[in-house]
Amino acid sequence: MALKIVKGSIDRMFDKNLQDLVRGIRNHKEDEAKYISTCIDEIKQELKQDNIAVKANAVCKLTYLQMLGYDVSWAAFNIVEVMSSSKFTYKRIGYLAASQCFHESTDVIMLTTNQIRKDLSSPNQYDTGVALTGLSCFVTPDLARDLANDIMTLMSHTKPYIRKKAVLIMYKVFLKYPESLRPAFPRLKEKLEDPDPGVQSAAVNVICELARRNPKNYLSLAPLFFKLMTSSTNNWVLIKIIKLFGALTPLEPRLGKKLIEPLTNLIHSTSAMSLLYECVNTVIAVLISLSSGMPNHSASIQVSLRSIQHYLGLLAMSKILKTHPKSVQSHKDLILQCLDDKDESIRLRALDLLYGMVSKKNLMEIVKKLMLHVDKAEGTTYRDELLTKIIDICSQSNYQYITNFEWYISILVELTRLEGTRHGHLIASQMLDVAIRVKAIRAFAVAQMATLLDNAHLLTGNTQRNGICEVLYAAAWICGEFSEHLEDPLSTLEAMLRPKVATLPGHIQAVYVQNAAKLFATVLRGQEGAPADRTVAQETSQLLIDRLPLFVQSANLEVQERASCILQLVKYIQKLQQKDVEVAEEVTALFAGELNPVAPKAQKKVPVPEGLDLDAWINEPPSESESEDEGRKPKGKAVFAKEESKHTKPRYTEVDEKELAKRREVRKAEQANNPFYIKASPSSQKVYQDGVGVEHIPVVQIDLSVPLKVPGMPMSDQYVKLEEERRQKDKADKKKKDKKKRREKGEKGRRRKGDSGPESEEDITPAHMVDITTEEMPENALPSDDDEKDPNDPHKKSSKHKKKKQKKEKEEKEKKKKKKHHHHHHHSDGAGDESVQNGNVEEEEPLPVSNQSSSIYSMCDIQGNLQDGSQVVVSVIFENKCDSFIKAMEFNVLDSLNSKLQRPEGAGPHDGLTVPFQLPPGISNEARFVFSVQSIVMPQKLKGTLTFIVKTDDSSTHEKLDFKLHFTCTSYLITTPCYSDAYAKLLESGDLKGSSLKLEGVSQPFHHLLARICFHHHFSVVERIGSCASMYSRSIQGHHVCLLVKTADQTVSIDAKCDEPGLLGNVLDEIKLTFSQC
Amino acid sequence: MQFMLLFSRQGKLRLQKWYVPLSDKERKKISRDLVQTILARKPKMCSFLEWRDLKIVYKRYASLYFCCAVEDQDNELITLEIIHRYVELLDKYFGSVCELDIIFNFEKAYFILDEFLLGGEAQETSKKNVLKAIEQADLLQEVRHHLLHSNCAFLSFCA
């Protein structure tokens, strides 16, 4: 009815217009596809007509169908026809259709270039407008290139309507055709100050988007944007500008300082949440870039965070958490509340935050809350997420926050009650890990696991593919391996051999069978002690003989094999038992020995057997020319290496410089593309600069003569410190009532000796200290300090304490040495009690700073800057050894005429440099300072001071530390490989002045001696023949230093040549010093 | 902004605007995925979600969902404001807009959107200016107003 009325009232021009189509589709809900296919047929007919109005109508309908998901790409050409209509009505429809249907691969786009150009220059601004709008959707690189100029002209159009569109579309053009950016940029910048606010905001938009991709280039615009930010009232523009600043601050910390104030003002004044959020985000970015906290400002963020929507607040908090964990921790309650939120994404965010927030103090509380949520949670995915998070939180940084492992085991056991989780294996691996590594917990763990095994039917439950049964794998293994802790091994054994076990997955059954045998051994041993129970032992054997055949029939090969093995064994034992032979001893021997975890670094610690040189070539190194010919094919010819090398050698000399350069390029490209090629770290391999092929670099064999030894404290002692900390904490917390009462039982018996002091009486918390057992190391491995470099190392903290203590003790002794001699790690005196770093020493030359204060320890390396012959970089490692917070460190050096500390522009010659970080107790950090050096001929000593503020709870004191920096001539040398031809040429050239040195009474082997020179004085061996070797090095200013080292009867003579005699003399003196010290 | 989708509670797409070049196939897949994800969310849930490497911001107005995809660093809250501003514009233009207005005049809805956003960036923050531009462009087009009116009559009948 209604349709008729409508139809009647319309003066219908077309067969079916868009409205009819929509209506039709709505009326044909059942056979929509069929209806649409007839419509498409009609449209095809309409498109064939000449009347542009009919065509436009058809295209309009197609646009609608396209949205519904029908393919209309066949009509692309018709769309172009409609676009080129001279009437705005049709043009508008055409461009709309094009913007909806065209994409980069639409080939008719290239037909549109001229049409678009014509429209862009149309006198009617709306023609230009639709063309720009359409173009923004389907611009291709070709269109961008061809039309960039036209659009650029439009940026200065008289009408703001066009200017604004043109400015915005330029962004798309830049993306497609980056070359247009350079010529267009000045005009774009002009638009930032356009009188029309719309154009201005468009320009801000575009520049902000560009800057986000490459902030560096837009730093120069910062003042302009700063002006805009303080003057603009348009929130849309403000947000963009503030976002831009967020991208710029990491590059320019000074900008951050300037921003903080206006941003905090905005935070307090604005009512727009979006602007507030953007400000907070940028403030966070600023704080991160400044790295030094500004407590008062972060407080203001706190306030604003509460008001922002939950999700974004959490998001922002997670950003703050990275730098200012303290300020987020105070919101724990709020975050825990978010766990109750209906929205899963909010809950997940909150979980992420919790991960970063836990500490020893609050871990139990947080996990308890999480466990409650696990019970409540609906939907397995979320529950699984919770489960993994609980485990992540607890196990993070090597169980750092767990003070009571019994508690953790109970948590794990509780988690097994979860139905249908996929993470059974995760729980299982945690159980294994804890039980293996924490010795003190084993008895408790075994008891819990035995209960689990006994109640296995609860876990396996109804579904077969239940992931939780993985836990039984761990349970069975733990019970078997640590069966000596079992109270009633027999009943556990019985539980492990129940027929129901056969329904478990194969790999679990296999563990069951194996560990049943272990338990059997334990049972036997327990019973043979009491002869009255002889029958029980025999019954146990019978039990196994009865039950094992079930496993022998298993379809799983592993289970079958183990079961039949053990079955035969038990049968044999039974025979012996019947003859009253004592077998327990032998059976136990089957499983003797403790399985300990292997330390992650164990492999590294295996000492290299004497006489094995891992760096030596087994065959002759493959020659360069050959690899050129054959590419990366494996070479069978290696056997004939000798022959090869003979005739490849002369070939080198024939290749000219150009050819070499070409080859080098080729090879570099090849290496860059080869994923298997391990790129050398820049510090370990310096490029020889004389334009000679790298292929000439000889393989230098550096074997470090310094023994790897650590002051001889046993490993377990490291925990003494940890324990102290814990006791202190406990004292503070003792008033808190213990929440986990159920774990009190049995706790006294297990308390370790260390805890049984007077404190233990008042110590209510059951948190007995649990050691993570010493991990297994290969025999005669030499533990070394470089463990410390591993951030995940569980022993890191404590070993640091240890080291520090020793340092304090030795300070007096060392100080003297240090002043005399700068090679800190050469002090490996006979007692071997100096720590040695053996990983990173090739290039670095630590220079200890003699210092009086006990609160800071610093150590520095001086290293030449290869790029700039007059610069030396000094890296100083500051370590806070006191218990207080150290901040506002300022590093200053009294410049000499020759060496100057490089200070930022505008700073006076006596101003100190602020060290860009603060040091919480026990933390160390590294700062770098650049010195410019004019002459490198003489060694230099620079006096300096470090001022800092030591902040304790109630006061802060200003302290000062004097030190000396010793720039030796050696530190200006850079290990540079040299090949013998070039070396010979260098010596022949006659530019070098000679000097020599004799060392008496050197008893070390020649190769040690060479290694020492290489290592401490940055030389490389060019050639070595018998007890004679030539060595080479280069200074940062390009002086060549050549040495000829000979040895005979404990006398070493060094003939040296250098183009700078002064430098040479000093280097030789330093070498002499090195050897006089050892 | 990468794209904007409008869809009904039944999951029918009502409007789509893509600011990144994607093939039809990809577009279809993305919109299908998103429509499903968003419709499955409960009313009290957060308006933002992370999806692939994008952030999705959506809001429901009556029976219509407005959904935008923005990049990682973009501000979610301003995207919400963009959605709201667009709804206001539609409202002003159609006079208390309803889903049917957008279905039957979908090209108008696109024109308004194009005046408001260009290439995924807000080009005009003033409502007045956007509407003025649309009105003037409409004047250029030979609109037969009675057509519009008759539609309205029909719509009210249907409703």
Q: What are A900-920's pLDDT values in tens digits?
A: 787 777 777 777 788 877 877
d(CA A714, CA A265): 57
3-state secondary structure A907-952: CCCCCCEECCCCECCCCEEEEEEEEEECCCCCCEEEEEEEEEEEEC
Q: Is the pLDDT higher at A93 or at A212?
A: A93
According to DSSP H, which parts of A400-503 are helical? 405-415, 424-437, 442-454, 456-460, 470-481, 489-496
pLDDT at A610: 78
Give the global pTM. 0.50
Answer whether A19's CB lies under 8 Å from B152's CB: no
CA dihedral of A673, A675, A678, A680, whole degrees rounded to 10: 30
A711-732 average pLDDT score: 45
> Is residue A513 within 8 Å of residue A563, measured between CB atoms?
yes
Name the phi and psi angles at A254, rounded to 5. Answer: -60, -35
Q: What is the pLDDT of residues A564-578, one digit of tens each?
A: 999 998 888 888 888
Q: Does B25 touch chain A (CB under 8 A)?
A: no
Amino acid at A175: L
Closest-CA residue of A relative to B17 is: A100
Q: How far apart are CA B132 and CA A161, in angstroms?
A: 11
- For residue B1, the chain A residue with the least C-alpha distance is A209
Q: Residues of A with CB below 8 A from B124's CB?
A: 164, 198
The pLDDT value given to residue A995: 83
Please tell me what DSSP assigns to residue A598.
Answer: B
CB A243 to CB B119 under 8 A?
Answer: no
Chain A residue numbers touching B150 (CB-CB < 8 A): 6, 9-10
Local structure of A85: helix, strand or coil: coil
Predicted local distance difference test score (pLDDT) of residue A858: 59
Tell me the nearest-neighbour CA distance from B21 into chain A, angstroms. 6
d(CA A593, CA A586): 13
Buried b / exposed e across A895-907, counting CB within 10 Å, b at 16+? beebbbbebeeee
Q: Which residue of B has its CA nearest to A171?
A: B119
Encode burial over A349-378: b for 16+ CB neighbours within 10 A, e otherwise: bbbbbbeebbeeeebbebbeebbebbeebe
Confirm if A134 and A102 have CB atoms less than 8 A apart. Answer: no
Q: B29 to chain A, minimum CA–CA distance in Å?
A: 10
Average pLDDT score over residue span B8-19: 87
- CA dist A225 and A231 (Å) reads 10
Q: Which residue of A has its CA nearest to B85?
A: A236
Do A89 and B19 lie within an 8 Å CB cutoff? no
Per the CB < 8 Å rule, is B146 touching A312?
no
Contact A386, A373 (CB under 8 A): yes
Q: What are phi and psi of A861, to 5 degrees?
A: -115, 140
pLDDT tens-place string over residues A149-196: 888 888 888 888 889 889 988 888 888 888 888 888 888 888 888 888
Helix H or strand E segment including B34: helix B24-39
Q: Percent of chain A scored above 90 by pLDDT?
A: 0
Q: Does A602 touch chain B (CB under 8 A)?
A: no
CB distance B124–A99 less than 8 Å?
Answer: no
Q: Which of A111-125, A317-331, A803-817 has the lowest mean pLDDT?
A: A803-817
Whether A10 and B107 lie within 8 Å, measured CB to CB: no
Least confident of A152-156, A526-530, A776-780, B12-16: A776-780
CA–CA distance, A1023 with A1035 (Å, rounded to integer): 20
Over the stretch A955-971, which tens digit does the pLDDT of each residue have?
777 888 888 877 788 87
If you count residue pairs, one on A and one on B, with CB atoms under 8 Å apart, how many are there? 159
Radius of gyration of chain A (CA): 39
Question: Which B residues, 124 through 153, put their C-beta within 8 Å of a C-beta on chain A?
Answer: 124-126, 129, 133, 136-137, 140-142, 144, 146-147, 150-151, 153
Rounded to an integer, the average pLDDT of A774-794 is 44
Of A280-284, B23-27, B122-126, least confident by mean pLDDT is A280-284
pLDDT in tens, A591-605: 877 766 677 777 777
Comparison of pLDDT for A141 and A978, the residue scoring more? A141
Residues 6+ apart with CB under 8 A from A956: A949, A950
b/e per residue A1011-1032 (b: at least 16 CB within 10 A):
bbbbbbbbbbbbbbeeeebbbb
d(CA B125, CA B123): 7
What are the structural domains of chain B? 3-156 (3.30.450.60)
The beta-carbon neighbor of A243 closest among B75, B76, B126 is B75
> Hey, what are B140's tokens?
């250029």
Q: Tokens standing for A453?
A: 């095994």
- The token duo for A791 is 């951030």
Write out A757-779 in H/E/C secondary structure: CCHHHHCCCCCCCCCCCCCECCC
Q: Note the helical H segments in A915-1060.
A: 980-988, 1006-1017
- Tell me which chain B residues have a C-beta less than 8 angstroms from the C-beta of A2: 153-154, 157-158
Are A970 and A845 in contact, with CB atoms under 8 Å apart? yes
* Spatial contact of B13 and B5, defined as CB atoms under 8 Å apart: yes
Weakest mean pLDDT among A346-350, A690-694, B49-53, B122-126: A690-694
Question: From B139, which residue of chain A is nearest by alpha-carbon distance?
Answer: A89
Residues of B in contact with A342 (CB under 8 A): 42, 44-45
A469 within 8 A of A508, measured Cβ to Cβ: yes
Nearest to A1069 by CA among A822, A816, A860: A822
More confidently predicted of A883 and A714: A883
Contact A305, A319 (CB under 8 A): no
Query: CB distance B78–A239 less than 8 Å?
Result: yes
Q: What is the pLDDT of residue A133?
A: 87
* Nearest CB to B104 within list A22, A105, A169: A22
CA A912 centroid distance within chain: 33
A822 touches chain B (CB under 8 A): no
Determine how many CB atoms are found less than 10 A away from the CB of residue A492. 27
Burial class (CB in 10 A: 0-12, 13-18, 19+), B76: buried
CB A961 within 8 A of CB A878: no
Please, which pLDDT band fits residue A531 given cuts at 50, 70 and 90? low
